[in-house]
A and B are shown apart, each in its own frame.
Chain A
Amino acid sequence: MHSVIAIIRRDLLLAMRRKSEVLTALFFFIIVVSLFPLGIGPESALLRKIAPGVIWVSALLATMLGLARLFAPDHADGTLEQMVLSPTPLGLLVAGKIVAHWITTGLPLVLLAPVLGIQFDLDRGALGILVLALLLGTPLLSLIGAIGAALTLGVRGGGVLLSLLVLPLYVPALIFGAGAVESHVSGLGAGGHLSLLAALLALAVFFAPWATTAALRIALE
């Protein structure tokens, strides 16, 4: 457990030293969300309807940006090999890295989402559901994305390939995440969607670090 916290601390520290990378993904998120009204038109009824979908799709894309760098720098300077050799199970270390990735890319999206939701004229209840759904969903994105990041480690054209592998797997998160807000707005209540999202998260917490570890071992063979 100690080494997991050490990994999280280290990755957060590295992210703080290179703030531009974190901020780039964040501003990418803001810009993409802000482009949609420009493309579709300022009609607030329409914007309110598309808001959850737009914010979620942008969150998927913004998460993708950080994924390519999840393991690549450690792979390049040999840290990853040391992690494989360390007595601590690799799965735990990988889980630590995923947590750090979520704190640097997922959590800021969750915190920014209400501001962007106001741009789209969402009411207070819908904003709350949006934040809750993102809070459950963005760790899921980091977990699934880590598998893709490990599989494409050191592969030609890894970045584009990563999005090809990971985006189809993000479909359930997108559906339940955006669906939670929509069903709240339409008066059905978001409980079902949020429960399913939480179930997916539980499943991913269990399986994703394991699959990521297997993929990393293959990449380092």
Chain B
Amino acid sequence: MNNKLVNWFKFGSPQSFYPLAGKMIPWFWALAVVFGIIGLWISFFVAPTDFQQGEGYRIIFIHVPAAWMSMFLYIVMATWAGLGLALNTRLSGMMAQAIAPTGALMAFLSLWTGAIWGKPMWGAWWVWDARLTSALILFFLYIGFIALQAAIDDARRADKAGAILALVGVVNVPIIYFSVKWWNTLHQGASVSLTKAPAMAATMLWGMLIMALAFWMYSIAVTLMRVRAIILEREAHTEWVKNLSEIQGEPK
């Protein structure tokens, strides 16, 4: 790779991406651990106690990054899916498939930690707030994507069908968000506003951003590990997979 222009399409083939991903995984894990330790240290020891919410607010250091990642990962997944449809690359579909479980996990985490936070703060595990409701629907979209891919045996067809679903979903996510938001303001159910939160202390913001970085690095690492497994599974019949040292080392 001495020439300045890296040939990105070279890594579009599973064969050349597999070792590259293998090399990148430890780095992303290391970054995830480092950011995670710094972020948790800030969030537990440096960030001041909130004068209204006490210590309970500290769960936002998990909650907010998870919520961000759940939305971001859906867009990334749809981007990979769209690339796969447009360029007909095999790897793109595999990436989309590998991202989906992490995205669903993040959506679930944000809902779960939100409920834990909501009980002491709002006095209810769940309110039909616009954000909560649209996060729940985002979770359903992830589950639908995973279910559709799992139901189709032919991997290429699963990729393409999933890609269309992801693209339809990504068009719908803003529509769903705004519809839920207007629905919520019309009903005026829960009078809790997340947007009118008091100005956040700088350390809190830093803690949240660093935690978000940790979540981001974790997502990349896990996705790469998963995509390696998917590559091995789908390319098991090929010569290069049979020649891999980790495959040859296994007792037949």
Q: Show the binding face of A for B, using Cβ within 8 Å.
A: 147, 151-152, 155-158, 161, 164-165, 167-169, 171-172, 175-176, 179, 182-183, 188, 196, 200, 207, 211, 214-215, 218-219, 221
Measured between C-beta atoms, what is the minimum distance from A214 to chain B in Å?
6
Kindly state the separation between the CA atoms of A196 and B156 in the bound complex, as whole angstroms: 37
Contact across chains for B151 and A155 when beta carbons are under 8 A apart: yes
Q: How many A-B residue pairs have CB under 8 A?
A: 74
Given A155-B151, A161-B148, A219-B157, A172:B179 Cβ within 8 A: yes
Among A156, A158, A172, which residue has its beta carbon within 8 angstroms of that of B176?
A: A172
A184 to chain B, nearest CB (A): 12
Chain B residue, CB-CB nearest to A173: B179
Whole-angstrom CA separation of A167 from B140 in the bound complex: 9
Give A159 to B183 CA distance when docked, in angstroms.
29
Residues 184-211 of B, flagged 1 when their CB comes within 8 A of A and 0 if not, give 0010000000000000000000000000
Interface residue? B106 (CB, 8 A): no
Taking a contact as CB atoms under 8 Å apart, the answer to whether B175 and A172 are in contact is yes
What does DSSP make chain B's interface, helix, strand, loop or mixed?
helix
Sorted nearest first, the 4 A-B pairs with minimum C-beta distance are A172-B179, A168-B140, A218-B160, A165-B144
- CB pair B164 A147 closer than 8 Å: yes
Q: With a 10 A CB-CB cut-off, give which of B143, B167, B172, B180 has the most chain A CB atoms.
A: B172
CB–CB A176/B143 < 8 A: no
Expressed in whole angstroms, the Cα–Cα distance for A213 and B182 within the complex equals 32
User: Do B164 and A218 have beta carbons less than 8 Å apart?
Assistant: yes
Report yes or no: B179 in contact with A211, Cβ–Cβ below 8 A.
no
Contact surface of B with A, Cβ cutoff 8 Å: 85, 137, 140-141, 143-144, 147-148, 151-153, 156-157, 160-161, 164-165, 167-169, 171-172, 175-176, 179-180, 182-183, 186
Contacts known (A207-B171, A214-B164); A175 close to B137, Cβ less than 8 A = no
C-alpha gap A158/B153 in the complex (Å): 13
Instruction: Give complex CA distance A175, B144 in Å.
Output: 21
Give the chain B neighbours of A207 by CB distance below 8 A.
171
Q: Is there contact, CB below 8 Å, between A171 and B137?
A: yes
Q: Are B165 and A175 in contact (CB under 8 A)?
A: no
**Contact assessment for B147 and A161 in the assembled complex, using a CB-CB cutoff below 8 Å:** yes
Q: Determine whether the beta carbon of A221 is less than 8 Å from that of B171.
A: no
- 6 further contact pairs, Cβ within 8 A, besides A167-B140, A218-B161: A152-B148, A155-B148, A161-B144, A161-B148, A165-B144, A221-B157
How far is the CB of A186 from the nearest CB of chain B, in Å? 8
Q: List 21 A-B contacts (CB under 8 A).
A: A151-B148, A152-B151, A156-B151, A158-B151, A161-B151, A164-B143, A164-B144, A165-B144, A165-B148, A167-B140, A168-B141, A169-B169, A172-B175, A172-B179, A175-B179, A175-B180, A175-B183, A188-B186, A211-B168, A219-B157, A221-B156
Q: Roughly how many angstroms separate A161 CA and B151 CA in the complex, as a whole number?
A: 8
Complex Cα distance A183/B182, Å? 12
Set of chain B residues within 8 Å of A161, measured between Cβ atoms: 144, 147-148, 151
Q: Which residue of B lies closest to A200 (CB)?
A: B175
Which B residues lie within 8 Å of A196 (CB)?
Answer: 179
Query: Could you tell me the distance between the alpha carbons of A151 and B168 in the complex, rounded to whole angstroms?
Result: 11
Closest to A166 in B: B144
How far is B151's CA from A158's CA once the two chains are assembled, in angstroms? 8
Residues of A within 8 A of B186 (CB): 179, 182-183, 188
Given contacts A164-B143, A218-B157, contact A171 B151 (CB under 8 A): no
Q: Point out which of B147, B179, B182 has the most chain A C-beta atoms below 10 A from its C-beta.
A: B179
Report yes or no: B148 in contact with A215, Cβ–Cβ below 8 A: no
Question: Cα distance A165–B175 when bound, in Å?
Answer: 16
B251 to A: closest C-beta gap in Å? 34
Q: Contacts A164-B144, A168-B141, A172-B175 hold; do A179 and B164 have CB atoms under 8 A apart?
A: no
Contact of B164 among A175, A188, A215 (CB under 8 A): A215
Residues in B whose Cβ lies below 8 Å from that of A211? 164, 167-168
A164 to B140, alpha carbons, bound, how many Å?
8
Q: Which residues of B contact A175 (CB under 8 A)?
A: 179-180, 182-183
Q: Which A residues are in CB contact (< 8 Å) with B179?
A: 171-172, 175-176, 196
